[in-house]
């Protein structure tokens, strides 16, 4: 198999219900110089068989990564695929979405514009908006960013990405310079896309394209998923007691990820980045008031007033 310009990394687990629809949309891409590299994470349904059939039917552009490592989890599965990839541009793919025909072409155009501006040696991540859809692909929202009340421009700032990820893996393309720096994705990473976004924000460029290129299917079993974030909902999350344990667990995981980032890259960061990172990983050692002051001083904040209210009330 010749080396393509773009590799689509498809991580699967028990995805037989939606996988054929997803694969059909990959084959329908207007950009043709691509390869689909898939790895199944110990599925118990027909997912692995579907992948093998695709590899047999499309041997020129579909390959299955086989190993004896069993189940690695979603992030570990993508990490293994990243290590096996070789193309100059890589895209992450979930098993339950449907890509629009122009998805690869649109994202690659933005990537090449960014590389022309910043150089191919610069680590670059490009991510697009998404259409939010129900289980039958009926539209729930034309823009995932608006649906979630996210500000994608904040995903360009390292300090913000430490606290909240605005990059959705299935809408992302990364260049080889970024992958070389980011891999391997550590076990401490919350998710592969968050880790890669951190590396890009610290050492390169993050580009947000305000065009929905994928139908982001919501079916109740999504690894992350989309939830409509109305002001009332967010306020309830900020002051309600029911989600306190979820908040603490989310914060703990992001701090653990930040510690892993500090161990690997701390010496390469700017002075201001080092200070922000050191503050975030040491929050537990600060007093009630000092934690809040440190978050504000280093701009370690989330997206929007209400999310930040939740953060400052509960951290």
List per-residue pLDDT tens for the chain, 315 residues long: 567 999 999 999 999 999 999 999 999 999 999 999 999 999 999 999 999 999 999 999 999 999 888 899 999 999 999 999 999 999 999 999 999 999 999 999 999 999 999 999 999 999 999 999 999 999 999 999 999 999 999 889 999 999 999 999 999 999 999 999 999 999 999 999 999 999 999 999 999 999 999 999 997 654 444 555 555 555 555 555 557 788 889 999 999 999 999 999 999 999 999 999 999 999 988 888 899 998 999 999 888 778 878 788 877
Q: Report how far apart the first and last C-alpha atoms of the chain are (Å, whole number).
A: 51
Cα–Cα nearest to 96, from 188, 225, 189, 247: 225
Residue 255 DSSP symbol? H
pLDDT value, residue 225: 46
Query: According to DSSP H, which parts of 165-243 are helical?
Result: 176-182, 192-203, 231-239
Quote the Cα angle for 9-199-315, to 5°: 110
- 3, burial (CB in 10 Å: exposed 0-12, middle 13-18, buried 19+): exposed
CA gap 36, 60 in Å, rounded:
10
Residue 70 DSSP symbol? -
CA gap 6, 299 in Å, rounded:
36
Domain locations along the chain:
6-217, 231-314
pTM: 0.91
What topology is assigned to 6-217 in CATH?
Spore Coat Polysaccharide Biosynthesis Protein SpsA; Chain A (3.90.550)
Residues in contact with 152: Cβ distance below 8 Å, sequence separation at least 6, in sequence order: 127, 129, 145, 166, 208, 210
pLDDT value, residue 308: 75
């Amino acid at each position: 198999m010749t080396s393509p310009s773009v590799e689509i990394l498809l991580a699967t687990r028990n995805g037989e219900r939606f996988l054929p629809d997803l694969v059909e949309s990959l084959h329908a891409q207007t950009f043709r110089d691509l390869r689909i590299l898939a790895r199944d994470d110990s599925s118990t349904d027909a997912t692995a068989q579907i992948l093998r059939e695709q590899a047999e039917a499309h041997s020129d552009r579909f390959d299955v990564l086989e190993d004896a490592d069993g189940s690695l989890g979603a992030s570990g599965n993508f990490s293994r695929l990243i290590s096996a990839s070789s193309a100059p541009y890589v895209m992450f793919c979930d098993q339950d979405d449907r890509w629009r025909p122009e998805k690869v072409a649109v994202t690659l155009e933005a990537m090449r514009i960014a590389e022309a501006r910043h150089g191919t040696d610069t680590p670059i991540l490009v991510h697009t908006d998404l259409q939010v859809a129900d289980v039958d692909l009926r539209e729930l929202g034309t823009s995932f960013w608006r649906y979630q009340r996210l500000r994608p421009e904040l995903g360009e700032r390292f300090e913000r990405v430490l606290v909240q990820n605005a990059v959705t893996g299935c809408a992302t393309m990364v260049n080889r310079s970024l992958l070389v720096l980011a891999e391997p994705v550590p076990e401490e990473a919350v998710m592969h896309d968050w880790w890669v976004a951190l590396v890009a924000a610290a050492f390169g460029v993050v580009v947000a394209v305000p065009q929905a290129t994928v139908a982001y299917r919501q079916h109740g079993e999504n690894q992350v998923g989309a939830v409509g974030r109305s002001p009332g909902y967010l306020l309830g999350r900020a002051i309600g007691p029911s989600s306190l344990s979820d908040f603490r667990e989310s914060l703990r995981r992001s701090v653990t990820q930040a510690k892993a980032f500090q161990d690997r890259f701390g010496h390469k960061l700017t002075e201001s980045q080092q200070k922000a990172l050191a503050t975030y990983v040491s929050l537990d050692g600060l007093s009630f008031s000092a934690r809040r002051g440190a978050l504000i001083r280093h701009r370690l904040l989330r997206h929007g007033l209400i999310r930040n209210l939740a953060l400052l009330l509960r951290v």
